[in-house]
Structure 1
Amino acid sequence: MVNKTIFIMSILVFTFLFGTGYNAETGAYSICQAQAETGVSVGKEMPTFTANNLNGENVQVGGTGVPYVLNFWATWCPPCKAELPELNEFANAHTEDVQFYAINIEESENTITDFLQNTGYSLPILLDADGSISQEFRVRAVPTTIVVDSQGVIRYRKTGGVTKEELENVLSTL
């Protein structure tokens, strides 16, 4: 009986300490409102990062205001090649309302430029030359696509090929 009482009291104390917030100005505890923590999974606030584009310019990605689509890919990846026509179409159709970035992982600028010239794609490309961005986002396979809402919260994540229709459906729910 004593162990059960101690267990229940421990749960109550834990809930009070970690399920509430202390306001130093008022000296009062209050129930914490759910806020998205920074992370790389659905429901988390997307971490911001900076990467170079193919023109050598630093591009800041993240924040709030507009939705983002991040697509991690490589030129040697067959599923990436298969989805690129639809991604290119989606990105071109949503230049005004979505920030789209095709993030190439660990390939040279020449390889990417040659690939784009041969295929005719005009996607906004960011370079993850050392793989640090894909590591931060825990990308384990390519392609991986992440959709972030205008508040900066990740709302969709998929490993494997994605279609324009899938992205349109996700976008319609934001």
Structure 2
Amino acid sequence: MGNWRYTLAFVALSLGLLVVLFKGFGRNPHEVPFMLKGQPAPNFVLRSLDSGEKVSLEDLKGRPVVINFWASWCGPCQMEHPVLEWGAREFGSQAVFLGVVFEDTEDNARQFLARHGASFPQLMDPRSRMAVDYGVAGVPETYFITPSGTILDKHVGPIDPQTLATRIRQLNGSAAPSAPAEAAR
């Protein structure tokens, strides 16, 4: 009779393990669940690195917003920056582009931007409060906010021109120009 209980317990445990494994297949093990998708974007008021003026999400309501968290010490951010520069030039009339300096100094950020360009506003996030509100796990991360202030989605890692163009098109609900190959360089 004792063997019967062990066999039943083993079968139950095996079925439970199979259910867990089955649910896990087909998912990217590196993907982090994004709880803010479809939620109102947390408001912020941050100081612009170049002008010192305050920038708030509330003031941008009614326009799509692209927010990129980056740092000068981040290798992938350096690879991604030309794509964002291209995107700000190409789609600046369709969305507001903002950079948010993540866990970096103003001097380092300014030096980075002097070398790589700064065609859109860069904001300082002291003590990473905005990054915490948005759930930033690392850089680079890019957030896409609808004109009504809802987070459409985020992109983790360096964004490519095609993905950026697609997200801008989704933010605007219309067609966006195709990304040229030279933007990826």
TM-score of the superposed pair, with normalisation by structure 2: 0.68
- Give the counterpart letter for 2:55 in structure 1: V
| Cα distance in 2, alignment partners of residues 40 and 127 from structure 1 | 24
Asked if 1:101 is matched to 2:89, the reply is no
Change (3 A) 1:48 1:40: farther
SS in 1 for 2:143: strand
Q: Which consecutive residues of structure 1, in runs of 5 or more, have no partner in the other structure?
A: 1-38
Q: Contact conserved, 2:82 with 2:116, CA < 8 A, in 1?
A: no
1:112 aligned partner = 109
- Unpaired runs of at least 5, structure 2: 1-33, 172-185
For 1:60, the equivalent position in structure 2 comes to 56
2:77: which partner in 1? Answer: 80
1:68·1:100 contact (CA, 8 Å) conserved in 2?
yes
TM-score normalised per structure 1: 0.72
C-alpha root-mean-square deviation of aligned residues, in Å?
A: 1.7
Q: How many equivalent residue pairs?
A: 136
Cα pair 2:80 2:159 within 8 Å, conserved: yes
* Preserved contact between residue 94 and residue 168 of structure 2 (Cα < 8 Å): no
Q: Does 1:50 align with 2:45?
A: yes
Between the aligned residues of both structures, percent identity stands at 30
Equivalent of 1:69, from 42, 48, 66? 66
Matches of 1:158 and 1:168, distance apart in 2: 12
Residues 54-90 of structure 1 deviation map (CA, whole Å, 9 limit, x = unaligned)? 1211111245311000111101111111110000110
Where in structure 2 are the equivalents of 1:1-174 lying within 5 Å?
A: 41-54=36-49, 55-62=51-58, 64-174=61-171
